[in-house]
Every structure is written in structure tokens, then in C-alpha cells.
Structure 1
């Protein structure tokens, strides 16, 4: 009968590299850690969102901007804020199936002061547009707050006309993506929370050769963190290049500008 042998150190490291899944590393997205970056428009959006959450009845806010500008961060944080205060909140998005979308009567039954949010409305399917139109009207009747996000101003969205009109009823504010200084600050803060610092060389490489989207960069940092632990090496530019060579699906080129 063959005797089982313990895996070698190299095979153990290989197994670890094959299971680097950045699923639970990102810091919690809150209103407090949303970086406005000294940009007046972003600071105003955060201020208006806080005011909406404090309103006793219906108020509406639409946030728009490019990918990586923080729209999803704010919507998720807004819903979490309401839930932590014991209020009803629901965040909808295009990837959610019909089973995740509430009935109009369910929304009408919620106490005033809750929140209905819809992320990436520019990508909603036709059936979701129809559904959101009804849910918006229900939220308004029930005295719920409503917050939505998209990649363009309401009038420019590829949606049914009456839904575009509803999205434009409230305040519509544009968000701007963080600059390199803010992205560097966020990435360094994430590293510090894990007990180490990113070298200037590694920070420069990440900011100039990879995606400008902070959500992608933090996911990539999660993978690099696990990879460094598996390889028992510090996080460096060569180690990052090695990770990207083995897992090219993590790589996204930097967007222009």
C-alpha cells in the first residue's frame, strides 16, 4: 500500500497561489471614509446625501460620473447607514435577478424615512426600468428617500422617458474620480490596516500602469496581499508583476487622463 507523503514547500506555495481569491479584504465602505479629495462637487454630493438620510420624508438625489468616481461606495454606505439606525433600506442594481426586486406593495408598506437606492441605472434592462419606475412612485408615496447613480446626467441616460424624468426630479450632482494623491492615500491606508506600507516604487507603478478605478485597485491589492503571504515575500513591483503574469484576469490597463 502506498504511503502518503507530505506536500513539499514548493507545492504548498503553488496550491496557495491557486487559491488567491480577493473576496473579503476591502475595508468597509462608509460615508466617513469616502474621500472627497478637496473637490467641491464631491463634498457637496456627500453633504446632500447626509441631508437626504436625515430627512423625515421623501427626498431624491441622483449621482452621476465616470467609473471609479465613488457612486457605488456612496449608495452602499447610505443603505448601511440607514440599516444601522434601524431603518429600512434596499440597494438595487442591474445584475440582480427579479427575485431580488421588491413588490410595489412591499415598498408602500415601509415606514417613512427608509431608503430605496438604485446603482448603475444606465445599465438597467427594460424590465428593470419598468419596475424601477413603479418603485420610485411607491417610494415617493411612502415618504422614503431615493438615491440613484449612473454614468451620465438624467437627460442623457438610455432609459424610458418617464424614468429619466423621475430621476431628474431631485437634485442631480456629478462626482469626479479621485486624483492620484487621493488614490495613493487610500491604497496606503488599506496597506496600513494590514500592518505594512506600500513602497513609493510600488505605489507609483500601481498608479501609472494599472486601472484608475479605486475599487479595482483595492481588489488587486487584496490579491497581492494574499500572494505575498503565500510566497513569503514582501509586496514589491516584481512580485506584483509575477502575480499579474500568473493571473492576467486581474490586470486592467490604466485609463487615459
Structure 2
């Protein structure tokens, strides 16, 4: 497939987060899932794979990591976040069968929307016929999405289904360290303990705190210390 011309870009300037890569994801109990995603992205694994987990567990990060992985191998990949595209016409799926890898995120967003459910169903069939890898993600397992189109629910069960396991506290700390390091700064153990004690334990909220501290540190030209965290976060 990689010798074919990829389709027109998706609307809204959808792009991958640069830091959303496998090397920046602390796998914890998700090692097997990460390996399965890498294999599918390289064209050597399962053609159909479904992952699910609550917000902040890393589903979007993993799908975008798979796209980065495919791109590094010279393969064409498309990341399709339905939460950002649900107000567009479903014809945006046209041409995706020209890709090597298609990653559809936020499948829960189309539950009860007959037009979009039908569009995903037909896309699924086209991709399978064209031997294109399809990775999908949602907040619930296929049977928990309450899709109106039973045939689509059935299709989503055809491949491997993984639940993204939540990270333990130490793994969350390692994730914060890795994210900080990727941005060119370090966080002391004292600062990390303070953030973990005073911030929400959900990983997505912890990463938002890190983003806020990073921007504040750059603006103030100050290192991130406990007093600085207190000042910025109001804790």
C-alpha cells in the first residue's frame, strides 16, 4: 500500500502530537498491548485491533504512537479522532483505504448516530478488503458502546480487544519524568511527590499540570521548585 498516493488530509488540520510516541509511554501492565500495536503498525501483526479505557488512560496516545511508528517505517497512516470530526460529513472517510494504517479514536462519540455508525461499518469493510490495518479506541468495550448497528458491534469483536490498564503511582511518576525530559527540563523527586500529593491522580490531569508548570517556568525564567509549584497552582 505504501507506494500509493495517500488521500487528502482530514479537515481541521488534524495532526499527531509530537510527544505521542511509544518511547514516551510508560507501559506498566500494557506491554503486550504496545507490542501488538507496533506489530500492526508495521504490517506484521493483527489487521484489526480494538483498545478501550477511561479518559486519561492513554488510548489516544497509543493510537498516535502507532501512526508515528508506521510513518517512521515509510508507511502511510491516518489518525481519525471522531470527537473532533463528528460535526463533519462522514464522506471524510473516502480514500482511507489507500492508507497502510487507519487509527479511529473516540468511537463512543458515534453511538446512536445512524449516519456515522453506517459510515464506520462500511469503512471497516473497505479496509478489511484492502488489507489495511485498522486500530480503534473508545471508552468502553465494543459491547458497552450501545451502538444501534449490531453488525458494527460484531465487526469490532473480530480482532484483538485490549483494555488499557491504569498506571500505578510509580508509573505515573515515571511518565511525568519522561514528559519533562522530552521537553528539556528535569523534575526533582521533591517536586514530583508534591505534585502527586496535591494534584488529581488522573494521568491526564497530571500532564495538564505539567504543561501549565512548563509554560509558567518558561515565561518567568524560573526553575520548577516546590515554592514555584505552590505559586503557579495555588496549592
TM range (shorter): 0.7 to 0.9
1:140 partnered with 2:119: no
Q: 1:151-175 CA deviation, whole Å, 9 max, x = no partner?
A: 1211111222222111111110111
TM-score, scaled relative to structure 2 = 0.79
Counterpart Cα distance in 2 of 1:222 and 1:197? 13
For residue 131 of structure 1, report the CA deviation from its aligned partner.
1.7
Q: Is the 8 A contact 2:39 2:46 kept in 1?
A: no
User: Which residue is 1:32 aligned to?
Assistant: 23
- Quick one: which of 56, 61, 75 aligns to 1:68? 56
Residue in structure 2 matching 1:174, options 163, 178, 182: 163
Q: Specify whether residues 178 and 164 from structure 1 end up closer, same or farther in structure 2 by C-alpha distance, changes over 3 A only.
A: same
Change (3 A) 1:55 1:233: closer
1:28 is displaced (CA, Å) by 1.6
**CA RMSD, 1 decimal:** 2.6
Q: Does the CA contact (< 8 Å) of 1:59 and 1:144 recur in 2?
A: yes
Contact 2:36 2:45 in 1 (8 A): no
1:205 and 2:194 correspond: yes
Asked if structure 1 preserves the Cα contact closer than 8 Å seen for 2:80 and 2:104, the reply is yes
Residue 98 (structure 1) aligned with residue 74 (structure 2)? no
Q: Which protein shows a greater Rg?
A: 1
Unaligned stretches of 5+ in structure 2?
1-16
Question: Is the 1:58–1:143 Cα contact (8 Å) retained in structure 2?
Answer: no
Measure how far apart 1:147 and its partner are.
Answer: 0.5
Please report how far the alpha carbon of residue 132 of structure 1 lies from its aligned counterpart in structure 2 after TM superposition.
1.2
Q: What are the residue-to-residue correspondences of 1:97-116 with 2, within 5 Å?
A: 97-98=87-88, 102-104=92-94, 106-108=95-97, 110=98, 114-116=100-102
Q: Deviations over 1:127-157 (max 9, x none)?
A: 3322211111111111100111111211111
Q: Map of 1:10-29 to 2, 5 A cutoff?
A: 28-29=19-20
1:57 deviates by 9.0
**Matched residue count:** 214
1:155 corresponds to: 143
Partner of 2:216: 227
Residues 223 and 149 (structure 1), Cα distance of their counterparts in 2 relative to 1, 3 Å cut = same
Counterparts in 2 of 1:220 and 1:61: CA distance versus 1, 3 Å: same
Q: Which residue of 1 aligns with 2:8?
A: none
TM-score normalized by the length of structure 1: 0.73
The corresponding residue for 1:117 is 103
- Does 1:51 pair with 2:39? yes
- The residue number in structure 2 matching 1:15 is none
Cα distance in 1 between the residues matched to 2:102 and 2:188: 41
